[in-house]
């Protein structure tokens, strides 16, 4: 039976990507769209690429009738999100794409996000939405917290290695590059085309918030506190994240650990040993490509992880989780092949 | 029942786009892939974005068993194409994406393509694949000739205006800009990233081959010889064509003619009068967005047409035609929403 | 003797381009930089590409000591500019890059800019800064109004043709495409990288303000009211304008008129008949490349004009004018070769 | 007195960049241009951005009269280069931009370049062209070997740290990203716009040739064999290299070492501690921007180095060296400010 979906925060890029994906999802229909600033407008005006779709008009959150909504996606800023998700009726499941429910420890949340957690009751039942690692809990969850897009990219590559103990947990360096859509649609000088194109630089030099998700998940899997070096860079492209991860360990064992971890996963592609992925080959899709290359230095390897930040890193992951929560086939609506070129 | 498809020339961009689209097409399966230079390779090696798919290995054309193939897509250079399509067994329908069968007059073909037509017998039964204008013939055809991507962009905008007589047929100027993927995957100096990015220029200054398709179709619909000015430009982007068409006529009548022509068309979107489309809002899709704007000069208007050259301009159009030829729903596999950003 | 220069509005792109050019100008030195919002900051903080230069700190306009300033460049919004330029001491010459002084008729100014002209006294002495057409007046002027960047691109191509009467003045269509830097550095949603890259569209559909400059100059040279069709498009690139101009006239006569007009001009390059320019080949320079191509339709031609909007279209032109006003060699500091790739 | 310059291999990007820079160099003039495949053509045909210049026609190498040439730049493939440079008359100084003379140990050359060194006699007198580290030798040299562009980027950042012993020489990881122009102008599928734009990936996975220059120079300065991890990535942009270097050491000491090393260098800009450079802020210039950021992990730091691969990484560096060799001011012709945006 078709599930009725509400998207809260439909005027941002992750909201638009949810709509794009649900447009061809065989078991979901969009029953409500909330977007406070754009309430009253058609989504086709806000996002002309969606103008062929027959969609409900954007409403204010409080105007939505949640009576027959099965699941809501929250694509809102993290502060707002905690409050809005808390206000949902109990029968509505939720996948929140913000940072609102990603961190289990409220002190850590406050440290990185600069404000106390506003919905601790819900936090305790929220499941971290890294599907391949929390599938069983997600299936039973009412609230799932979408991961950070950078966090997903790194965690998917590193967790199997920590689990199998094939790398030195104290020597992990994540050198990551991301496209601009992760920064959202709010106008900022640094995100103008003239500022971004034909250039490359590192950002968040005093620490990127997704670091908290690395530490949380690395430590959980390793069974001890683990931190790492994490330097994100901004790419002159719209979509895609590539994490280049420098580790201590044998390339063969690392590659075997990844193959073992993801042998039956529909969206995880482990390349042959010695090959490296490209963001362009996962663009617009829910696939994550992993690669392992032997370093020239003995006992070291480089692990690569590539995904589309708006899709597998965010809206695709959210639908994958929603499929599980709604008892649908996990891959429904998500088998779109990447778009290249 | 699932139709069995062969793709001849699968190692180019239009071939890859066919595979991408068929990957989620509910009634087609890829039964054979031909690619002479890459015979023996997996398509996932040639196009890593398709590596998650379970596809037949690339073969030489003569190795393919066409016994149970329903339809073949030809994604080959135009010279080769005439010969290959002629060699297909009679039970195999074909949509040829090359220029091999686009021009009904062999003299015109020779004039623009510099060689005599090599398959005139087939030419007579080939239908020009502009779906919205030849739907009935396409449904019955064994051979359909995919249109030029620029030609599709202009023809879809201009034909309704000539048909309804709302513009002066002698005063049509098509100023067009196209992304680089239309030039194909063969290495050429002028298509290097360093040559294309951060720049814009007109090309084919002595006459672009798609002009022949404008003249053929314009004249047919107008019922008299019609030519036009046509200047293509190369955009520093991968996909997308925008035709900006300067015409003599009243904007309101022009807009009405477009709305009338395409009222029931699933892929044609006529924007409200005064709005103009963008290539980014049709990217990766089979949609074509049309717009009409009144000029400041009396009695003149500007008509815009935007589509994705690899999709609606080529591989999407081909599948739309194949759907008709195979008795499938015309929109099957083609309702993917555009990808933005 | 070195001339002392003030730049008013140094925190925008045209301001930065002025600084870049003056950095290697043998007869100018930057004596003062005004930038109200950034007053107190070093320009190297606002524009890190200029951090190697030893420059005065940004000041508020009223803090500048104009006592020994020879010439001021105004790189401010047009409203502000009229007031600021009026407030300059009489011994200070000024080149204003805004629209404040471009239009001789105050009614036309008000029509296009939506506010009455605030400095009519100065307007009467201001010279329109299209150097190649107003060189003698500029040499004597105290106030020169920099032209619109699109206006410069079109005017440089069309004025010689109207002057020599080799085209039909009633049949001019300017189809123009411009890079994003012309929109300035203020954050706007439509100028974000994710909105601009991989896409192309027309803008200013109800009429672009630079149209007023076409009408003013075309009419003046033609000796009768002339208007035209003008459609600007936004390119996914940072710099560069290409005007593709569709005209009625003989290509040979048009080409001859351009060659005659610009035979002795240091920055105007007329390509051989049949060739067309590219924005990438003038990037970062004060050169303008012109080309003429015969149309397939009898008695028609296409004229191309390419320049760098921040340089020849704005800051380079401004320095060219300032050189004349200060009695320097016109080409001083401006012979930088374009940067390609 | 003006020095007479020959450029051997003027039809590639580094050749064009040499011409661009020499065009405004006050003490150099281009007396001869060699480009075998394009002999007989004007350089303005090969590179239209240089068409305003009055340049000698391209000749075959053997046609050049070296009688009054002071210095030749070799911008040829490395194999060819060894032979051509050897054939120069003894009075002609040479800066070779290829890899032909970079590696002092012929066995290492053969290992990385797959062929025996063809000009060992000259190799012994060739000086490695990292100007800031070999200035005195370069001043006296007849043959200077331009460094690899990636090698320059890394060496300029790492050598001061090894010299001062502020980092662990066994724990250096160079994660580098480069624009496409470094790959040259020869058409290759992987360098097409459609393949490069909107994507990011690592390349040279089995070892990049510039590694040999890191090992050679690191070991020399450290006084013991030093190797490192080096992973280059390809950026969807034309120019610019950013090296992100992960090291063991105290950020403050590292920053101090860089400041000390480059205090008096005209082209080296050390940013304040905690800031990181961007390739866009050195584009088109001979500047190199260095930055140091403290890692969250104790006793570790990240060092950034950004330069323009065609300029400071290649042609700018070559002119800087040539200035020294010819007794000119080291900075002559090279103080062009970076071009942004």
Measured torsion, CA atoms of residues C198, C200, C204, C205, in degrees rounded to the nearest 10 = -140
pLDDT reading at C340 higher than 90 = yes
Q: B314: Cβ–Cβ under 8 A, 6 or more apart, which residues?
A: B14, B17, B97, B146, B149
Give the minimum alpha-carbon distance from D215 to chain B in angstroms, rounded to a whole number. 30
C-alpha distances (whole Å) from C304 to each of B212, B242, C289, D156, D248 are 24, 19, 8, 45, 56
Topology, domain A3-146+312-325: Rossmann fold (3.40.50)
Residue B36 pLDDT: 85
Chain C nearest-CA distance from A45, in A, is: 13
Cα–Cα distances in Å, from D210 out to D99, D102, D179, D217? 9, 10, 15, 11
Strand partners, C110: none
DSSP structural state of residue A65: -
Cβ atoms of C73 and C93 closer than 8 Å: no
Laid out side by side, the sheet with D127-128 consists of: D58-59, D28-34, D3-8, D71-74, D93-96, D143-145, D127-128
Residue B68 has pLDDT above 90, yes or no: yes
Compute, in degrees rounded to 10, the torsion defined by CA atoms B324, B325, B327, B333: -50
Of A185, A195, A198, the CB nearest to C189: A185
Q: Which helix (H) or strand (E) holds A175?
A: strand A173-178
Residue B199 has pLDDT above 90, yes or no: yes
Is the distance from CB of B33 to CB of B22 less than 8 angstroms? no
Place of tokens 């691969």: D309
Other CB atoms within 10 A of residue D125 CB: 12
Mean pLDDT of chain A: 97
* Cβ atoms of B80 and B11 closer than 8 Å: no
Chain B interface residues facing chain D, Cβ-Cβ under 8 Å? 13, 180-181, 185-189, 191-198, 236-238
Question: What's the CA gap between B222 and B238, in Å, rounded?
Answer: 34
Smallest CA–CA distance, residue B286 to chain D, in Å, is: 20
The domain segmentation of chain B, as residue ranges, is 3-147+312-325, 150-308
C332 in Cβ contact with D229 (< 8 Å): no
Residues of D in contact with C269 (CB under 8 A): 51-52
Query: What pLDDT is recorded for position C77?
Result: 86
Task: Report chain D's mean pLDDT, rounded to a whole number.
Answer: 97
Label each residue of chain C as H, E or C.
CCEEEEEECCCCHHHHHHHHHHCCCCCEEEEEEECHHHCCCCHHHHCHHHCCCCCCCEECHHHCCHHHCCEEEECCCHHHHHHHHHCCCCCCEEEECCCCCCCCCHHHHHHHHCCCCCCHHHHHHCEECCHHHHHHHHHHCCEEECCCHHHHHHHHHHHHHHHCCCCCCCCCEEEEEECHHHHCCCCCHHHEHHHHCCCCEECCCCCCCCHHHHHHHHHHHHCCCCCCEEEEEECCCCCCEEEEEEEECCHHHHHHHHHHHHCCCCCEEECCCCCCCEHHHCCCCCCEEEEEEECCCCCEEEEEEEECCCHHHHHHHHHHHHHHHCCCCCCCCCCCCCCCC
Q: Dig out the tokens for B49 from the structure.
A: 């974005």
The residues, any chain, with a CB within 8 Å of residue B249's CB and separated by 6 or more, are B161, B166, B167, B168, B299, B300, B301
| A237-246, B41-50, B70-79, B230-239: range with lowest mean pLDDT | B70-79
Partners of B195 on chain D (C-beta within 8 Å) are 185, 193
| Chains touching C (3+ CB pairs < 8 Å) | A, B, D
> Tokens in use for B56?
């037949």
Name every chain C residue with its beta carbon within 8 A of the beta carbon of B249: none
The pLDDT value given to residue D78: 81
CB-CB under 8 Å, B237 with D197: yes
Interface of A with B (CB under 8 A): 13, 16, 19-20, 23-24, 47-53, 181, 197-198, 238-239, 269, 277-278, 280-285, 287, 289, 335-341
Mean pLDDT, to the nearest integer, of C95-105? 97
Q: What is the spatial distance between Cα B278 and Cα C202, in angstroms, rounded to a whole number?
A: 8
When pLDDT is cut at 50, 70 and 90, the band that residue C32 belongs to is: very high
B149 carries an active-site annotation: yes
**D23 vs C269, C278, C337: nearest CB:** C337
Identify the CATH number of the domain defined by range B3-147+312-325: 3.40.50.720
Size of interface A-D (CB pairs under 8 A): 146
How do residues A172-214 score in pLDDT, each as one tens digit?
Answer: 999 999 999 999 999 999 999 999 999 999 999 999 999 999 9
What pLDDT is stored for residue B178 in this prediction? Answer: 98
Q: How far apart are CA D261 and CA D85, in angstroms?
A: 33
Per annotation, catalytic residue among D21, D141, D149, D268:
D149
Write the pLDDT tens digit of every residue in D55-109: 999 999 999 999 999 999 999 988 899 999 999 999 999 999 999 999 999 999 9
Mean pLDDT within B58-72: 96
Minimum CA–CA partner of C192 in chain A: A192
Q: Which of C198, C200, C275 sits opposite B177 (nearest CB)?
A: C200
- Please report all neighbours of B, defined by 3+ CB atom pairs within 8 A: A, C, D
Question: Does the pLDDT of residue B188 top 90, yes or no?
Answer: yes
The confidence band for B78, taking pLDDT boundaries of 50, 70 and 90, is confident
Provide the CATH number for the domain formed by B150-308 in this structure. Answer: 3.30.360.10
Mean pLDDT of D253-258: 98
Tell me the CB-side half-sphere exposure of residue B246, using CA atoms within 13 A.
Answer: 28
Question: Which residues from A are below 8 Å from D235, CB to CB?
Answer: 200, 235-236
- Under a CB-based contact definition with an 8 Å cutoff, are residues B197 and D198 in contact? no
pLDDT tens-digit series, residues B324-335? 999 999 999 999
Distance (Å, rounded) from C-alpha C20 to C-alpha C53?
Answer: 9
- Say whether D202 and A304 touch across the interface (CB within 8 A): yes
- What is the distance between the alpha carbons of residues A251 and C154, in angstroms, rounded to a whole number? 60
| Cα gap D179→D157, rounded to integer Å | 19
The verdict on a CB contact (< 8 Å) between B296 and C175 is no
Q: What stretch of H or E contains B4? A: strand B3-8
Chains touching D by CB (3 or more pairs below 8 Å) = A, B, C
pLDDT for res D36: 85
| pLDDT (average), residues C169-187 | 97
| Chain A residues inside the 8 Å CB shell of D228 | 297
Residue of C194, C280, C283 to mutate, interface with A, max A Cβ within 10 Å: C194
Q: What distance in Å separates the CA atoms of residue C288 and residue D234, rounded to the nearest whole number? A: 33
Q: What is the pLDDT of residues A33-84, one digit of tens each?
A: 999 889 999 999 999 999 999 999 999 999 999 999 999 999 998 889 999 9
The pair of three-digit structure tokens given for residue D32, joined into one six-digit string: 């001869």
Task: Determine how many CB atoms are found less than 10 A away from the CB of residue A107.
Answer: 10
Q: Which residues of C touch A185 (CB under 8 A)?
A: 189, 192, 194-195
CB burial of residue D140 (10 Å; 0-12, 13-18, 19+)? exposed
How far is Cα B313 from Cα B242, in angstroms, rounded to an integer? Answer: 11
Tell if the CB–CB gap between C205 and B274 is shorter than 8 Å: yes
Asked whether the beta carbons of residue C49 and residue D337 sit closer than 8 angstroms, the reply is: yes
Chain B contacts of A24, Cβ < 8 Å? 24, 335-337
pLDDT at A125 over 90: yes
CB contact under 8 A, B51 and A239: no
Please state the φ and ψ torsions of residue C219, each to the nearest 5 degrees. Answer: -65, -40
Global ipTM = 0.97
Of the candidates B157, B158, B152, B148, the one whose C-alpha atom is nearest the C-alpha of residue B209 is: B148
CA distance C134 to chain B (A): 28
Each residue's pLDDT tens digit, C285-319: 999 999 999 999 999 999 999 999 999 999 999 99
Name the minimum distance, in Å, from the CA of B46 to any CA of chain A. 11
B contacts of D189 (beta carbons < 8 Å):
185-187
Catalytic residue among B149, B241, B245, B290: B149
CB contact under 8 A, B185 and D193: no
pLDDT of C79 > 90? The answer is no
Q: Tens digits of per-residue pLDDT, B144-155?
A: 999 999 999 999
Nearest to B279 by CA among B192, B153, B161: B153
Interchain CB distance below 8 Å, B280 and C177: no
Q: How far apart are CA A12 and CA A58, in angstroms?
A: 12
Report the mean per-residue pLDDT for chain B: 97
- The pLDDT, as a whole number, for residue B1 is 82
What is the pLDDT, as a whole number, of residue A104?
A: 96
What class is the C150-309 domain?
Answer: alpha beta
- CATH 3.40.50.2300 is held by the domain D3-125: no
Handedness of CA C72, C73, C76, C80 (dihedral sign): positive
Residues on chain C touching B227 (C-beta within 8 angstroms): 296-297
Catalytic residue among A19, A103, A119, A149: A149
Whether residue B306 and residue C201 make contact (CB cut-off 8 A), yes or no, is yes
User: Token pair of C307, please?
Assistant: 């320049």
Residues in chain B: 341
Per-residue pLDDT for A142 more than 90? yes
């Amino acid at each position: 039976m078709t599930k009725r979906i509400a998207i809260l925060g439909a005027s941002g890029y992750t909201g638009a990507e949810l709509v794009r994906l649900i447009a061809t999802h065989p078991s979901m229909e969009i029953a409500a769209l909330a977007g406070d600033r754009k309430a009253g407008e058609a989504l086709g005006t806000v996002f002309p690429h969606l103008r062929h779709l027959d969609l409900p008009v954007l409403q204010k959150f409080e105007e939505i009738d949640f009576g027959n909504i099965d699941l809501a996606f929250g694509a809102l800023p993290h502060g707002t999100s905690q409050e809005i998700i808390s206000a949902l009726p109990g029968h509505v499941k939720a996948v929140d794409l913000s940072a609102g429910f990603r961190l289990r420890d409220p002190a850590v949340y406050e440290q990185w996000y600069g404000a106390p957690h506003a919905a601790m009751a819900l936090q305790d039942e929220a499941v971290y939405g890294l599907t391949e690692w929390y599938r069983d809990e997600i299936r039973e969850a009412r609230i799932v917290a979408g991961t950070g897009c950078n966090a997903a990219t790194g965690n998917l590559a590193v967790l199997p290695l920590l689990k199998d103990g094939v790398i030195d947990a104290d020597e992990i360096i994540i050198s990551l590059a991301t496209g601009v859509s992760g920064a959202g649609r709010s106008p900022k000088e640094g995100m103008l085309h003239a500022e971004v194109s034909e250039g490359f630089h590192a950002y968040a030099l005093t620490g990127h918030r997704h670091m908290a998700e690395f530490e949380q998940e690395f430590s959980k899997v390793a069974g001890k506190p683990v931190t790492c070096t994490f330097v994100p860079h901004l790419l002159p492209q719209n979509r895609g994240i590539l994490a280049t991860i420098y580790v201590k360990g044998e390339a063969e064992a690392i590659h075997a650990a990844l193959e073992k971890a993801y042998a039956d996963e529909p969206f995880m592609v482990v390349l042959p040993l010695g090959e490296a992925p490209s963001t362009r080959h996962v663009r617009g899709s829910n696939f994550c490509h992993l690669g392992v290359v032997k370093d020239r230095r003995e006992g070291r390897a480089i692990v690569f992880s590539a995904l589309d930040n708006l899709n597998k890193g965010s809206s695709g992951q959210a639908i994958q989780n929603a499929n599980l929560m709604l008892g649908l086939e996990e891959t429904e609506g998500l088998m779109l092949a990447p778009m290249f070129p």
